[in-house]
Structure 1
């Protein structure tokens, strides 16, 4: 596969736009168009319908990128930077993949990868395309948008014939061949248009651009920057912005700010801060250029920001240095804007980029800062469509002409940025949201939440039903696979939410809360509908009435089994009842789930130790051991021993927290149990301080983000980077640790120091984990491995026939929903059938497309309004590709749309890899359309090159085997892939260059 993009001819672009809109109602995959208001702004002496658009970068390098951006709401386009180095020479310097934008963003690419004349052609084609779209589709005025060229990086290069020709052509393109070709094409086809007339076409202005943004390399001397800006103003007579870098803020400010906001892992040194333009030099330079521009009758300002270079530490990209952008760049960029505005009393014009999105665009522009260009936000799921919300927001607020910057408002915005939840890094780094599966060539749409749920609940379906107020139907869907809706709705660690695509927007859909809402609203109404649905007639003993045992009993009884639970305590719930603090979940909640077992006829023997396995086997057809990991770990310290956390929590629940444990309590550990322990200790009488000691920082604690945040909110005092060593005179003596280098997974190592600290400790409690009951298994004749864990088959059957092991006692402490998944596996093995069929209901695609790109926090509206229905429509790879190289097509006879990859539009930036829910990169792994056979030979992708569109003849590669096929012939290639090729030729022929 080549990483070189190929621009489309203007006639192909026009065919694509007109045919896609007419036949499919979309434009380059976008489903909603922004129609500009009649009121316009003015900048550089020209109209501007809305002051936003793509920053010079991946979203403004090809004509289709610019057209997609315009359709979604852009009207100011900062075209991708051109410089003297271009084409193959530049491509050799850019490592691929070059973009990683799954949270804060990084890139290691800079100017256009096209040759400068090719870039010029793309921009001229885009100019005509937008002019046509504006009038033909009623999107705005043909003069309502502006192009802003970006050039770099030194005066010699800018003066070169190549770049100089580009600048002059963009100033007036009338004599360029591309301008003439585009104009003639429109005139030749004017009879086909509904609204565009010959007069409109003749009126398309050739002076495409009268403004420029200057980009310089890091370390460029101030004298050189001023010389270039002077040249652009005086010789080229262009309204000019100079890109300014946050390094103007100084190393200490940048480091302290990012550390405070949770970006302490982002590594950068002092070099760029010392080598780049200095603030003391920048101010007088800007003053001189402001004066000069005034004398020239031109506008001048700064573009914030240029780039913020950071080190590659965890293999983020294949380079040594990369450029940071997005949410982490915002506090630096807006702080620099505030600093310069104070310096110039609000009179310095600022063009802004650096973490702008729908959450802050109104405040940025409201301060008088515009135009605003974006990159990171539109590189995320929702893609270009995110621009529409920003444009709508600005239209609603009303943007006035530039009369200066509101310095006080901007200072407040910069101050708020440091604590803004949309920009502060969460305490825990997000885990990978990818599955372990490879993306299929066909029918790849999948719901990551459902895939990430150990019991694979039909989450999008019940969330949608709940949103419609159909709680009874929603709960029936939940109970289809979930035996414990109240328990999981209350304390489940919700791995589903970690996989939710909505995380790439703002926050996950609140799936757990929705489940609990359904259970609370509908259980009384539907419990009588809970009944036996299977015909299995065997008997099963379940040893242990915790979540695993309760779930197994539910599934077995529903399939028809006669089930008896042996529970040694006086109530069901196991660890959830006895150990999890009652302020998180109490026995009344567990009892509601237990009522389901009663309804299904499950017999529960309370306060009863189960007989030995061999005794149970004589009475029951099968036995399930769900005994838990009840062997408690110990932490011995020099000078004393720490109390076991589970013993403490059990005492806490039994006494309702009426325990004398001293004023200062130390909890050792960083998992969920440690958080529960610390929060419970805070609630004990007489406790003044609870210190949580862990040898790494919060970021590397194994606890769930939600549990960690709750501990912080409860006032638990985290003592990070401490390793406990001994108890001495009411103090816990700890070794101070420091974080080492990050490994490839992003986890930091730890290194001991020579320093120790003392933590006050009237009581030390250790959450050091529990152990599986090896002795119990061995006593009952079950084989165990060298780690003391029982040996089981894939169905969880032990070495003793018809005896199964599930829950924490199998592999050690885990989460409730994983125990339920094991219960399903065992129940299905025993009964010889699946516990249930699918309750999935496909969503309405139109309703999903209406949500794409819209940022919306959880709030008063149902969560169904935020759910993106990924099992019906995923298209993350389609959304995030700046070049539109991943295409969703409708194939006759297939229920779901299919995604293909278009080779000639791709430069292997790798952005789609970050957001595909599979362990795949769509640009490498999806069925690929090649422009010609030679391109196919240059790639290893499975895919096809159309040889004859009319006859539907194509060369196909499938699993590495190449064949030539014509419609109607037999083929070893799957029928669905052949139908994809037919659909491309019949309904998407504009994809074929």
Structure 2
């Protein structure tokens, strides 16, 4: 615990953000680091709760409750309160490979399960983690990890969260690790799926430099399963870990879906980040929202990222469609009891910016697109929608019904589909004849991660379907442990 009475003495203080009217002019990170004394008192708020649900890492009602990495949160909170930052860093990195990423992009299920959050505001776990890892880099405590070589070679396919995690732990126990990535930069979703203002790519490159110095080799611009046979890796390595993600975007099956101006959100975000990194957007090789009326179909985090990116492009207007009802302002205990993930309304950075710029939240709830209409040139010009009412059917399931007279036409020049992903791409599973589940994910039992093909393992979204970055890190770690056991008969990875 931190200070015995800290939770009674100190209020929660979240990190400040740069003002929306300032930050929409650039692609720099939104969050501002906190004063160390504030961080110390926030660590003091961690109470002696007996059972720290914050590091439970279980699924309750379909959502994560507590940290999937089982971070030892109360311990490093106490160490921060006592000013023992280096020990806090050591404790933090006993369980998590890349705190600089989770502290920036994880929705913090640990805070949703915080015991203190049951009766008052939860501990600022996410921001304390951020301050610990940033201090560690600043002080030079983050160094390459090397171990006595085992003589075993492992190929990791995909350099997203699960791939980087698997590579990190396999290398740390002495295996020779080569990571294959089809893009021109490593990082996968972290690099090209999340905007720079949410996760500055400098910090990804900073970590990649450490991984490379530790001996991990990265082979870029190499798409396994397309330009390089997956079987070649199976034949030439002692083990192969597949971490290619669930990258098939969910489409919209309505009239006009193929018109010019309809794009998947992932393509929109990737092109912007790539252009930003290559030329600070001067090459103009991205899908521009400048001067356009933008409609984003999908109310999740990716939709929010699209809102923020479109605003930075200089869009004329932006609206976000969500098929589900608006969440309540506060947790409804009867339906969503603690320590479940709190299903309540949050205003994220993209919505804050839209409210600042246009005077209202861009989100529209209980709305469904019925068709997209184009002009004589085959370009998008409007979207037709209806409102929905959610009711219980005979089986007690919530189902949508169209609200009579709710038809509406929206002016649109650019439509971005941010409705999630359906599963992994087919090339590698088809070539290797990997077994797949009903959702098309590669079959590999959790905690073992072995596929039906000898020496081939699968982890992350490719195995479990679209999920949180923190789950991908945990899967990469656990898959590395199983590969290590397979190669050496035992493992010290925990």
Aligned residue number for residue 644 of structure 1: 264
Specify whether residues 759 and 525 from structure 1 end up closer, same or farther in structure 2 by C-alpha distance, changes over 3 A only. Answer: same
Paired residue secondary structure (1:822):
helix
**CA distance in 1 between partners of 2:342 and 2:270 (Å):** 20
Which of 346, 351, 359 lines up with 1:712 in the alignment? 351
Which of 305, 319, 334 lines up with 1:691 in the alignment? 319
**CA distance in 2 between partners of 1:629 and 1:707 (Å):** 26
Aligned residue number for residue 220 of structure 2: 606
Matched, 1:462 2:107: no
In the TM superposition, 1:963-982 aligns within 5 A as none
Shift of 1:654: 2.6
**Alpha-carbon deviations, 1:363-396, whole Å to 9, x = none?**
xxxxxxxxxxxxxxxxxxx9xxx8x99xxxxxxx
| TM-score, length basis structure 1 | 0.38
Verify the 8 A CA contact 1:675 1:707 in the aligned structure 2.
no
Aligned residue number for residue 443 of structure 2: 791
Aligned residue number for residue 754 of structure 1: 404
Which of 720, 726, 735 lines up with 2:386 in the alignment? 735
Q: Per residue, is there more helix in 1 or in 2?
A: 1
Specify whether residues 706 and 775 from structure 1 end up closer, same or farther in structure 2 by C-alpha distance, changes over 3 A only. Answer: farther
Larger Rg: 1
Matched, 1:670 2:315: no
| TM-score, length basis structure 2 | 0.73
Specify whether residues 655 and 604 from structure 1 end up closer, same or farther in structure 2 by C-alpha distance, changes over 3 A only. Answer: closer
What is the aligned residue count?
398
Aligned residue number for residue 635 of structure 1: 252
**Alpha-carbon deviations, 1:650-682, whole Å to 9, x = none?**
122233476245431110112221111122112
Paired residue secondary structure (1:683):
helix
Shift of 1:630: 2.3
Paired residue secondary structure (1:809):
helix
Aligned residue number for residue 626 of structure 1: 243
Paired residue secondary structure (1:769):
coil
**Alpha-carbon deviations, 1:168-216, whole Å to 9, x = none?**
xxxxxxxxxxxxxxxxxxxxxxxxxxxxxxxxxxxxxxxxxxxxxxxxx
Shift of 1:796: 0.8
Aligned residue number for residue 121 of structure 1: none
Specify whether residues 700 and 805 from structure 1 end up closer, same or farther in structure 2 by C-alpha distance, changes over 3 A only. Answer: farther
**CA distance in 2 between partners of 1:704 and 1:607 (Å):** 40
CA RMSD of aligned residues (A): 3.1
Specify whether residues 792 and 489 from structure 1 end up closer, same or farther in structure 2 by C-alpha distance, changes over 3 A only. Answer: same
Verify the 8 A CA contact 1:772 1:811 in the aligned structure 2.
no
The higher relative CO (CA closer than 8 Å, separation ≥ 6) is in 2
In the TM superposition, 1:230-309 aligns within 5 A as none
Specify whether residues 516 and 742 from structure 1 end up closer, same or farther in structure 2 by C-alpha distance, changes over 3 A only. Answer: farther
Structure 2: give runs of 5+ residues left out of the alignment. Answer: 11-48, 57-65, 330-340, 355-360, 375-380
Which of 417, 422, 425 lines up with 1:773 in the alignment? 425
Shift of 1:556: 0.8
**Alpha-carbon deviations, 1:334-378, whole Å to 9, x = none?**
xxxxxxxxxxxxxxxxxxxxxxxxxxxxxxxxxxxxxxxxxxxxx
In the TM superposition, 1:84-99 aligns within 5 A as none
Paired residue secondary structure (1:604):
strand
Aligned residue number for residue 615 of structure 1: 232
Matched, 1:508 2:122: yes
Verify the 8 A CA contact 1:671 1:704 in the aligned structure 2.
no
Specify whether residues 456 and 583 from structure 1 end up closer, same or farther in structure 2 by C-alpha distance, changes over 3 A only. Answer: same
Shift of 1:502: 2.0
Shift of 1:809: 1.8
Structure 1: give runs of 5+ residues left out of the alignment. Answer: 1-30, 33-381, 390-443, 838-993
**CA distance in 2 between partners of 1:617 and 1:635 (Å):** 37
Verify the 8 A CA contact 1:782 1:790 in the aligned structure 2.
yes
**CA distance in 2 between partners of 1:822 and 1:515 (Å):** 20
**Alpha-carbon deviations, 1:258-312, whole Å to 9, x = none?**
xxxxxxxxxxxxxxxxxxxxxxxxxxxxxxxxxxxxxxxxxxxxxxxxxxxxxxx
Aligned residue number for residue 848 of structure 1: none
Paired residue secondary structure (1:699):
coil
**CA distance in 2 between partners of 1:572 and 1:463 (Å):** 32
Which of 552, 556, 560 lines up with 2:170 in the alignment? 556
**CA distance in 2 between partners of 1:703 and 1:636 (Å):** 31
Paired residue secondary structure (2:183):
coil
Shift of 1:583: 1.2
Shift of 1:539: 1.6
Specify whether residues 619 and 728 from structure 1 end up closer, same or farther in structure 2 by C-alpha distance, changes over 3 A only. Answer: closer
Which of 473, 480, 483 lines up with 1:830 in the alignment? 483
**CA distance in 1 between partners of 2:123 and 2:440 (Å):** 39
**CA distance in 1 between partners of 2:345 and 2:178 (Å):** 36
Shift of 1:683: 1.8
Verify the 8 A CA contact 1:566 1:609 in the aligned structure 2.
yes
**CA distance in 1 between partners of 2:194 and 2:71 (Å):** 24
**CA distance in 2 between partners of 1:704 and 1:491 (Å):** 18
Verify the 8 A CA contact 2:111 2:124 in the aligned structure 1.
yes
Shift of 1:739: 3.4
Choose 531-540 or 822-831, whichever is displaced more: 531-540
**CA distance in 2 between partners of 1:640 and 1:810 (Å):** 29
Verify the 8 A CA contact 2:245 2:461 in the aligned structure 1.
yes
Paired residue secondary structure (1:665):
strand
**CA distance in 2 between partners of 1:829 and 1:498 (Å):** 30
Matched, 1:476 2:90: yes
